[in-house]
Amino acid sequence: MNYKHIIFDLDGTLLDTIPDLLYNLNTTFSELGLPGKFSTAEMATFLGSGKDEQIRRALSARRLSHEKYFAKVNALLSVYYAKNTNTYTEIFPGIKETLAELKARCVKLYVATNKPDHVAKDVVRHYFGDNVFIKVRGDKGDGIIKPNPKFLNAIIKNINDPLETIMFVGDSYVDYMSAKNAGVKCAIVPHGYDQKVLNIKDKGVIFLKKVTDIISLDIN
């Protein structure tokens, strides 16, 4: 089957965003006088389910009350989130060339991420411009995020091709469940952000060593 549409996760798939996310979280905790300092390995365990869950996991990691500190951390982290999204983040090697090759093959490209929607759009614009992806979908604050099938369906509903022509590429177990719940093919790149993907036994999942390997698949 030829894949005519590819939806990409953002953090850990197209971009190595942990350095910015880690800086923002550590700075927020420090300014609030809360115990940090989180490591890169710890930060990786907080990702995948949106900013709110990231905060909850960070608070739990330091045994801090969600009720007492969530609102304070959320407010300040949102400020840093808006200011520092492109400082330390880097595009994974070969991604731009891979996206260009896919577009040359007339594959339509999209982004689906649990980043806040306005942040996601700003980050994608900064690193990739406005002409690579047809749609960028982030967390709109309505409670619908990955792996809720409604999240990917917000993109899929506007695609006039069979589900079999759509692939979702991500790096986390949440990404796997998102594709499964939406009924589309899943390709996983186990970059190490989420170790749970190594336990996926679904034979329908394509495991890629790196995103650039997608070029070798049966695509258009």
Could you tell me the sign of the dihedral formed by the alpha carbons of 32, 35, 38, 43, in that order? Answer: negative
Q: Is 194 a catalytic residue?
A: no
Pairing state between β 206-207 and 108-116: unpaired
pLDDT per position as a tens digit, 118-160: 889 999 999 999 999 999 999 998 989 999 999 999 999 999 9
Tokens of 195: 């170790």
pLDDT per position as a tens digit, 33-63: 998 789 988 888 888 777 888 899 999 999 9
pTM higher than 0.85: yes
Q: Of the residues 9, 20, 171, 175, which is catalytic?
A: 9
What distance in Å separates the CA atoms of residue 125 and residue 102, rounded to the nearest whole number?
A: 18
DSSP helix/strand/coil, 194: coil
Give alpha helix (H) positions in 32-168. 40-46, 51-61, 66-83, 95-104, 117-128, 149-156
| Residue ranges of domains in the chain, CATH in brackets | 5-16+89-216 (3.40.50.1000), 18-83 (1.10.150.240)
What distance in Å separates the CA atoms of residue 81 and residue 78, rounded to the nearest whole number?
A: 5
